[in-house]
């Protein structure tokens, strides 16, 4: 076998050839390996990829004969000479190590081009730079990430892997800190959105922080957008969960020894794979940020707190629908679960209410509630002894039965939620 060529020697024709001979190499990987923007304007190159994509998406055999035949059916130009050149120059070794080496160079080049475009676009259209960059990255995602496809064998392994994880006492999806929630939902499933809804001030942000801390402490990378509370308060809360101390006490006066201990816990929790950002974002910008975190940090879950704090241009209902669709697209594109909290903004749904929220209270409060695959409602009510009670009610579950009510306790001084059965401390 001949010596492997250097990365700089691999041509775009070779990459197209690799796609012709290796359907496991996705378009996204090939673009990262160095295909230039100009490539999209070369008719035969573009046609070759269109044909390969069509065969790949429809689970057809990818070969020279099938490519030529499909090009004829699609009525696009794909000459035998050009296709042969791709095959003849295709490297015969695994191209993935080359892709990894060129990833950084490709992303840097793409960002430089994007920055130039954004500067010109913003000055001409008087557009917000963040809005422009969000739309640009989402356009790039449409050309790349959405065309990634798992082979049938990969799909089978993923499904059976989940089954066996549950069979062994684990969780099929991404595990939450709450065993009964895991049993009800099977965990947070890839490609699905779970809405965590409730009244204002009931502790939705505490629940999101509890979830994020649980995953981070077990080494599962998670992307966290605490729009409502911001970075400083959220890191403080995570430190309190880690050390089981009261952040309220720390803010209102504690000993020097307690401050030193808290510092150690905050330092510890900041070492977990929790990737956090609180700057205002539109749904499109959340998409761009999530794609970046998926590629860079391999996040397995995106947590958004909260839907109402996403940046909007208007209060039009149509925009709400578009935002909801974008959030669900994030889950599908990146094949990760999305957990998003939602403040139910209906009359008579304050935390002072003594009645549980009804389905009618929640239905219609935001399109994200209707688009999500699972809906958990954080409930509060007074029992016959006038004691405040809490539960996580699974009122929508596309993976299993509902409704299911799970009694919960809010450990306010320690900033987290636990199942009521876990009565180990006051």
**Per-domain residue ranges of the chain:** 7-109, 173-419
- Tokens encoding 35: 């295909």
Tell me the Cα Rg of the chain.
25
The class level of CATH for 7-109 reads mainly alpha
CA–CA separation, 261 and 242 (whole Å): 11
What Cα–Cα distance (Å) separates residue 215 from each residue in 52, 273, 401?
A: 39, 9, 25
| pLDDT in the model for residue 18 | 58
Which of 341, 378, 401 minimizes the C-alpha distance to 184?
Answer: 401
Is 173-419 CATH 3.40.50.300? yes
Q: Which pLDDT tens digits describe the chain residue by residue (426 residues)?
A: 345 544 445 565 565 565 555 545 544 455 444 455 555 456 776 677 677 667 766 777 766 777 788 888 988 887 767 666 665 555 545 545 444 444 444 455 555 565 566 566 555 555 555 555 555 555 554 444 433 456 678 888 889 999 998 888 889 999 999 999 999 999 999 999 999 999 888 899 999 999 999 999 999 999 999 999 999 999 999 999 999 998 988 999 889 999 999 999 999 999 999 999 998 888 878 887 887 788 778 899 999 998 888 888 777 767 788 888 889 988 988 889 999 998 886 544 454 556 778 767 776 556 788 888 999 999 988 877 888 889 999 998 887 888 899 999 988 777 789 998 654 443
- Tokens encoding 353: 């209410």
| pLDDT in the model for residue 147 | 39
CA–CA separation, 157 and 162 (whole Å): 9
Tell me phi and psi for residue 252, to 5 degrees: -110, 5
| pLDDT in the model for residue 145 | 42
3-class secondary-structure state, position 425: coil
Q: Give CA 194 to chain center in angstroms.
A: 12
Give the CA angle between residues 362, 368, 372 to the nearest 5°.
95
CA–CA separation, 168 and 140 (whole Å): 40
Q: Give CA 237 to chain center in angstroms.
A: 22
CA–CA separation, 304 and 206 (whole Å): 13
Equal fold, 7-109 vs 173-419: no
CA–CA separation, 284 and 287 (whole Å): 5
């Amino acid at each position: 076998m001949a010596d492997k060529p250097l990365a700089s020697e691999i041509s775009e024709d070779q990459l197209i050839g690799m796609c012709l001979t290796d359907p496991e190499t996705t378009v996204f990987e090939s673009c990262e390996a160095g295909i230039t923007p100009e490539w999209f304007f070369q008719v035969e190159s573009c046609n070759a990829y269109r044909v390969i994509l069509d065969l790949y998406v429809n689970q057809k055999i990818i070969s020279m004969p099938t490519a030529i035949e499909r090009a004829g059916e699609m009525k696009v130009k794909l000459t035998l000479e050009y296709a042969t050149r791709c095959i003849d120059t295709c490297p015969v070794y695994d191209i993935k190590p080359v892709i990894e080496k060129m990833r950084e160079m490709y992303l840097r080049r793409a960002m430089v081009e994007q920055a130039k475009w954004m500067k010109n676009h913003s000055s001409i259209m008087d557009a917000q730079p963040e809005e422009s960059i969000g739309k640009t990255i989402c356009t790039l995602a449409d050309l790349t990430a959405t065309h990634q496809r798992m082979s049938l064998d990969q799909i089978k392994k993923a499904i059976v892997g989940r089954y066996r994880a549950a069979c062994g006492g684990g969780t099929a999806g991404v595990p939450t800190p709450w065993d009964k929630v895991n049993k009800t939902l099977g965990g947070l499933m890839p490609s699905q959105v779970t809405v965590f809804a409730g009244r204002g001030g009931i502790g939705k942000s505490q629940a999101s922080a509890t979830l994020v801390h649980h995953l981070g402490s077990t080494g599962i990378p998670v992307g966290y957008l605490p729009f409502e509370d911001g970075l400083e308060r959220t890191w403080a809360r995570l430190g309190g969960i880690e050390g089981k101390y009261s952040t309220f006490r720390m803010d209102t006066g504690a000993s020097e020894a307690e401050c030193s201990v808290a510092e150690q816990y905050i330092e510890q929790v900041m070492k977990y794979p929790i990737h956090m950002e609180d700057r205002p974002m539109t749904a499109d910008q959340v998409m761009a940020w999530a794609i970046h975190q998926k590629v860079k940090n391999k996040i397995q879950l995106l947590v958004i707190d909260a839907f109402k704090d996403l940046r909007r241009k208007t209060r039009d209902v149509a925009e709400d629908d578009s935002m909801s669709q974008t959030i669900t697209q994030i889950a599908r594109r990146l094949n990760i679960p999305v957990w998003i909290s939602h403040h139910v903004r209906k009359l008579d749904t304050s935390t002072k209410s003594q009645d549980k929220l009804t389905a009618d209270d929640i239905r219609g409060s935001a399109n994200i509630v209707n688009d999500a695959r699972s809906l958990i409602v954080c409930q509060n009510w007074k029992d016959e002894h006038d004691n405040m009670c809490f539960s996580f009610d699974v009122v929508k579950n596309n993976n299993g039965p509902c409704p299911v009510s799970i009694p919960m306790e809010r450990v306010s001084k320690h900033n987290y939620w636990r199942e009521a059965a876990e009565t180990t401390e006051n």
